[in-house]
Structure 1
């Protein structure tokens, strides 16, 4: 992999310990008048980013480790770690990271003096963990070892399963916190590995002990806890229960009914100093959990992996609206046959998924008052998910988009997307863990004016990013953001945010695609 380094003397200092980058953040503040007029004030803020170069020895504990996603990502990482290849009818395959932005995407760092644009791997800008070095563990309501659970999932080629079996057979999930009130009743048949605790607080204490043991056994510096288990029903967020950290802890202690298992995992993770990622659609990240995470200085990330139909939708709708074309009606139909689909066959669990998939249009619609004037309604939008066992993990997504175009015209786009659900979700798990670990090592401080480059700030003045790590929205269907800040669902905007923050960590300006060097002849030799 090529080395990428910002030239010395440009506000960036590389030491063995850290990369310290001075960064001018140019933004705006806007005033909206009652008559609709808008006044825009440009603002420049001077920041210093400090990125620790030493990657932490990191483990990830998966909730739902024995499911399709958990076994697929574990098997893939073992294939990389042990350099396992396998034969298929089209030839010999090597392990890859296709679908992972950190491992398989590139980003522009600028132009050469000959006006050639240079692209480098995303992971080349700052030190990122090698996914094959992650230590994997976790919990599952099914006690089946990970090798047999991989076979049960029926996701990977049989020859690859056979090649990996011995690497996985001694991996066993820990007993899970389980409450049938929050998942479909059809899940009870595989729930043979349940935590034998008397109440919810005792479950939290057991989960905390599990995390501590995992950290100590594997000599880990960092542990990230990630939910990839079945979708829970939505919880009713109750004042006095979910609204503050203290209320939440008290509610768990008194065994409140509306405390879901996912909240127990998140509470245990946070209290053990671990960031928590919610890869499913349920509303785990209540105000009390976010406050608790802020107290303990860890991140929370959510909600719901954005892997297939919703990723296409958030990119496609953004594309058409940027072109001034008006979405009028979107019908989305899915069928799948894995255990996720089996669980979603229950109405309450489907409702959780419907909410996260349905909200993907909201901010894009509200951003264009020409297409959608105040008081008008957005596009008609329906979502259907059906369970068909025969198709297994090979999910089918059928979408019909209806648009209004120029002078009363209409346009219809129909998509049929066949995608292996877990093979799209597993790379997202990798990216979420890799980027969360990176952000643990990034701190930032604000400094004054032009002396920012020379000023040596005390380390106590540096702070981490906001507790709700909205930077990772690109990877999630219903991105959670800090209270009082806008939700962004447009796929391109989400992706650019990640890339431009990575550029900032090494003192590079955002990639704004102006490329004035190419459009103004007198700039062509500047910087040569």
Structure 2
């Protein structure tokens, strides 16, 4: 007979309190997410208000952001009630009003015109932001027609020439210049460009950092633009976040990140439909029900929908979304601006052969949901760069380079090789909150509330004293 025994480890958490000055460089800066993120930063930094077409005056905010608008459980207050504190009040996080932004795009359209093209923001806000955004012009980007839909050709007027290795060196140069010109401690590179088709992973090409570099300098056709950007970021000592579903972070890329101690995170921003799935499936399984089928209909607008109308690009999205054998996905691309429509049907088996069906219809502005996630990914990536964990202060090290702790914001979180993937949203959020609590000496949250459930004299005197 085998027995299980508990083991206890003492860990020390060491945090550099002062946040770094940071900048964000976005690949696909002129797209819906890039323009919305930039406009949101500028509006919040300048406290720019605008007239709401439905009446009244609107002020900027970061609704949807955990770090800026959500709270963490602190403990029991003097009145016996629970006390909560904003995440950015629990631990020292970067001041988002000091974040600088730049980036690349295959279109040379300035950011004011690109924002107008995106049809996300109210016209009055666009008008007030135009003087700030018009001077912003994306740097030339990598364009490989083999990896994106052919309907993107009409945008490609701002592309880098030359070989893959030449493109790599130019991207590194751009990052270094941006960091120097903006006087920044750290630059974080975010892929928010179009979904690519997945590259074909090949032994001897994508498996190690050495082979990956060799393939880049040999101009191998299965090295994707997104992987080039990831490698360039790591080589420039910058974290890289992949916000699209393709397999950017190939094994050789993660190997290179590990060897350099640089964070990478991905894949695919988790803004709406997938986030809801990770809540509902967790609920169904946790309630002792048996999910039998999940049918999803996804109606995307904007250029993302246009690009994903091509089968190979849609396949990248399909691969990352269909993580369970009982799921099916249907997709239609039709330009409805930034509006996104999703319909899900969840069928579960219940007792004695019965069935329970839940149908959900979700309509949202996709970029306004994704933008706060991008902010959180950037803010927390910087924060975890200042954190060290170990059995002693001398042996403490940072989190693994594949930053799976950010899985709350990503549909298919990349983690340490061999580590289990956690998809339940509540568990992902709890992991983040408890790690932040540990940084200030607070234990993990358990929500047992035994002091209110068991009549024990010690508990009674404790609650009374509160």
* TM more than 0.5: yes
Shift of 1:392: 1.6
Aligned twin of 1:182: 147
CA distance in 2, matches of 1:340, 1:187: 10
CA distance in 2, matches of 1:289, 1:352: 18
Which stretch shifts more, 217-226 or 321-330?
321-330
CA distance in 2, matches of 1:61, 1:191: 19
Distance 1:39 1:87, change over 3 A: farther
In the alignment, which of 122, 131, 136 is matched to residue 171 of structure 1?
136
Shift of 1:39: 4.2
Mapping for residues 74-93 of structure 1, pairs under 5 Å? 74-88=38-52, 89-93=54-58
Describe the SS at the equivalent of 1:40.
Answer: coil
The runs of at least 4 aligned residues of structure 1 exceeding 2 Å deviation read 38-41, 112-115, 524-528
Aligned twin of 1:13: none
In the alignment, which of 66, 80, 83 is matched to residue 118 of structure 1?
83
CA distance in 2, matches of 1:44, 1:422: 44
Q: How many pairs does the alignment contain?
A: 461
Question: Is 2:461 aligned against 1:525?
Answer: yes
CA distance in 2, matches of 1:42, 1:182: 50
CA distance in 2, matches of 1:486, 1:382: 23
CA distance in 2, matches of 1:290, 1:518: 47
CA distance in 2, matches of 1:158, 1:510: 45
Aligned twin of 1:272: 236
Question: Is 2:169 aligned against 1:230?
Answer: no
CA distance in 1, matches of 2:333, 2:390: 50
Aligned twin of 1:40: 4
Mapping for residues 326-337 of structure 1, pairs under 5 Å? 326-337=290-301
In the alignment, which of 243, 266, 276 is matched to residue 207 of structure 2?
243
CA distance in 1, matches of 2:461, 2:438: 25
Aligned twin of 1:421: 366
Checking the alignment, whether the CA contact within 8 Å between 1:113 and 1:525 is kept in structure 2 is no
Aligned twin of 1:385: 331
In the alignment, which of 150, 154, 179 is matched to residue 119 of structure 2?
154
Question: Is 2:22 aligned against 1:58?
Answer: yes
Question: Is 2:461 aligned against 1:496?
Answer: no
CA distance in 2, matches of 1:204, 1:96: 36
Aligned twin of 2:173: 209
In the alignment, which of 225, 232, 243 is matched to residue 261 of structure 1?
225
In the alignment, which of 457, 476, 480 is matched to residue 414 of structure 2?
480
Shift of 1:109: 1.1
CA distance in 1, matches of 2:240, 2:148: 20
Distance 1:145 1:39, change over 3 A: farther
Mapping for residues 430-469 of structure 1, pairs under 5 Å? 430-447=375-392, 457-458=393-394, 461-469=395-403
Shift of 1:320: 1.4
Shift of 1:519: 1.7
Checking the alignment, whether the CA contact within 8 Å between 1:141 and 1:175 is kept in structure 2 is yes
CA distance in 1, matches of 2:196, 2:261: 27
CA distance in 2, matches of 1:92, 1:205: 47
Q: How big is the alpha-carbon RMSD for the aligned residues of Structure 1 and Structure 2?
A: 1.2
Shift of 1:407: 2.3
Aligned twin of 2:339: 394
Higher strand share: 1
Note the alpha carbon deviations across 1:204-248, whole angstroms, 9 max, x for none. Answer: 000000000000000000010010000000111111111001111
CA distance in 1, matches of 2:155, 2:78: 62
Question: TM-score, length-normalised on structure 2?
Answer: 0.97
CA distance in 2, matches of 1:224, 1:212: 12
Checking the alignment, whether the CA contact within 8 Å between 1:66 and 1:146 is kept in structure 2 is yes
Aligned twin of 1:514: 448
Shift of 1:326: 1.2
Describe the SS at the equivalent of 2:20.
Answer: coil
Checking the alignment, whether the CA contact within 8 Å between 1:115 and 1:518 is kept in structure 2 is no
Checking the alignment, whether the CA contact within 8 Å between 1:178 and 1:261 is kept in structure 2 is yes
CA distance in 2, matches of 1:337, 1:287: 32
Q: Which runs of 5+ in 2 are unaligned?
A: none
Aligned twin of 1:358: 322
Checking the alignment, whether the CA contact within 8 Å between 1:274 and 1:298 is kept in structure 2 is yes
Question: Is 2:68 aligned against 1:132?
Answer: no
Distance 1:250 1:120, change over 3 A: same
CA distance in 1, matches of 2:214, 2:92: 40
Describe the SS at the equivalent of 1:439.
Answer: helix
CA distance in 1, matches of 2:375, 2:460: 40
Question: TM-score, length-normalised on structure 1?
Answer: 0.86
Distance 1:114 1:259, change over 3 A: same
In the alignment, which of 308, 326, 331 is matched to residue 344 of structure 1?
308
Describe the SS at the equivalent of 1:62.
Answer: strand
Shift of 1:41: 2.4
Describe the SS at the equivalent of 1:525.
Answer: helix
Shift of 1:113: 4.4
Question: Is 2:36 aligned against 1:72?
Answer: yes
CA distance in 2, matches of 1:139, 1:482: 29
In the alignment, which of 245, 251, 255 is matched to residue 291 of structure 1?
255
